[in-house]
Amino acid sequence: MPQDVISSSLLNSFLFYISILGVLLFAGVLLRLKVGIFKKFFIPASLIAGFLGIIIGPYGFKMLSEPMVSTWGSLAGILITIVFAPMLIGMNKETSKEAAKHAVPQVLYSYLGSSLQIGVPLLVTGLILIPIWEVDELFGSIIEIGWAGGHGTAGGMQGVFESLNWAEGTSLSLTSATVGLLFGIIGGMIIINIGVKKGYTSVIKSTSQLQSQQEDIPQEKTASSYNTINEDVVESFGFHLALIFIAVLIGWGLQQLIIPYVAGVPLFPLAMLGGLVVNISLSKTRFYRLIDKQTLNRIQGLALEFLIVGAVASIKIPVVVEYAIPLLIVSLFSLLTILWYFHFIGPKMFKKDWFEHSIVNYGTATGVTAVGLMLLRTVDPNMKTEAASAYAIRAPFYSPFLGGGLITSIVPVLIINYGTTLVGIAFLIISFLILAAAKLLGYFHCDADKKQNYEGQQNISQSKL
């Protein structure tokens, strides 16, 4: 029998492992719905399930075996590829061109946030952590990978870290993602309460108006995807999965071409480029009408939920304990940077509704898109400002590259080739260039924060009268 043929016993074991993963996710959903503190702080069920896996796993009550948990961790690289492959499938070129006109400040602001999130931790690592604690030179990369990239990107980078001889990077990136998520949710709510009191918000004018705007279990069912092809021909989900796998195959081909020249490039951003090839190819045919973007989003969401559960459950606790102090230091520097970015750059970048535009980016930069949108819904429940639409429009111009995209995935390779400090300096220079471009294009106003703060206070005074 060829060595690459997987035996039925291994497949049965894999099915069993996935089934236990499903049990954990179901338990996480129950805890999310029933436990008050999880509801209050909007902790995702998948993250709860992942922590449950840690508790009953090899470093807890040892109810789960090491091979099972390790398999979950390895699965992350596959699932993140499925998440990224359809990202550019179904993208309409005309819509994107029109959208770009209204999203330039959001795009610039997002790029600036990620550039700072790469540059500052790398400099802290190169100048402080490596000389004192002798951490690996890739250590500083875990912030942008874990915070802006989230648990999905952190788990998906396992192969990259292993190929670059730093296996501990996966567990530390996942821990970083968890820390960032907590900063995003808890810190975001603190920022919102302060912002409301100071009159920075455009819609919510008192803290008594702050509340969750979504029900955990909606009263009415809503359609989240549509059949675009007769079921007698093929199941719609099957058709869309086929497109994803074609994109993955194209990405795999690109990876084989690149690896001899640039080692360590992961599959998932290349699969996204494969999706772009699929999109361009189908856009010239009548089969383009068969693509339902919402169905692709459903498949991405399914893969991401299981990815997070397995990736978090596979965190190696001894590694986290060993690097606790350097992790705390780089996290605090990163938090101060992102707070500066929110409070001082946000008012200058956005002429109108700066708080709403900035808070959605703060939530995304520290946690995930869902956290950013949750914070935005808290301060703009009926989407009266343009923050939500501008944020959504900026996605095709930002997500493929940073916050877990192509540039994020190659930063570790750049560090290996050019060194931690030099890459950190380079990204800080990029940050200044972004600010210069924003100023040149008329999107950066040095006195805007004072003006908007004054107008916010005037609005509060008028509302009181």
Residue 213 vs residue 387, higher pLDDT:
387
Cβ–Cβ under 8 Å, residues 49 and 314: no
In the numeric block, which tokens belong to residue 363? Answer: 């939530």
**Using CA of residue 354, residue 356, residue 357, residue 362, what is the dihedral sign?**
positive
- Single pTM value for the model: 0.83
| Structure confidence at residue 221 (pLDDT) | 67
Q: Over 80: is that where the pLDDT of 465 sits?
A: no
pLDDT tens-digit series, residues 18-43: 999 999 999 999 999 999 888 877 78
Cβ–Cβ under 8 Å, residues 366 and 187: yes
- Over residues 352-362, the mean pLDDT reads 92
Rounded Cα–Cα distance for residues 97 and 203 (Å): 30
| Structure confidence at residue 2 (pLDDT) | 45
Q: pLDDT category, 452, cuts 50, 70, 90?
A: low
Instruction: Kindly give, in sequence order, each residue whose CB lies less than 8 Å from that of residue 368, ignoring residues fewer than 6 positions away.
Output: 150, 151, 152, 181, 184
The full DSSP string for 285-351 is SGGGGG--HHHHHHHHHHHHHHHHHHHHHT--HHHHHHTHHHHHHHHHHHHHHHHHIIIIIHHHH-S
Count, residues in the chain:
465
Q: Hey, what amino acid is at 441?
A: L
| Structure confidence at residue 61 (pLDDT) | 95
Averaged pLDDT of the chain: 86
| Structure confidence at residue 174 (pLDDT) | 92
Q: Over 90: is that where the pLDDT of 261 sits?
A: no
| Structure confidence at residue 339 (pLDDT) | 96
Helix 354-366 × helix 369-379 angle, to 10°:
150
- Over residues 12-21, the mean pLDDT reads 95
Residue 2 vs residue 290, higher pLDDT:
290
Q: Over 70: is that where the pLDDT of 296 sits?
A: yes
pLDDT tens-digit series, residues 33-70: 999 888 877 788 998 999 999 999 999 999 999 999 99
pLDDT tens-digit series, residues 138-192: 999 999 999 998 888 898 898 889 989 999 999 999 999 999 988 998 899 899 9
pLDDT tens-digit series, residues 394-451: 877 888 888 888 899 899 999 999 999 999 999 999 999 999 999 998 888 876 554 4
Rounded Cα–Cα distance for residues 347 and 350 (Å): 6
Q: Over 80: is that where the pLDDT of 299 sits?
A: yes
Q: Hey, what amino acid is at 352?
A: K
In the numeric block, which tokens belong to residue 129? Answer: 């952590």
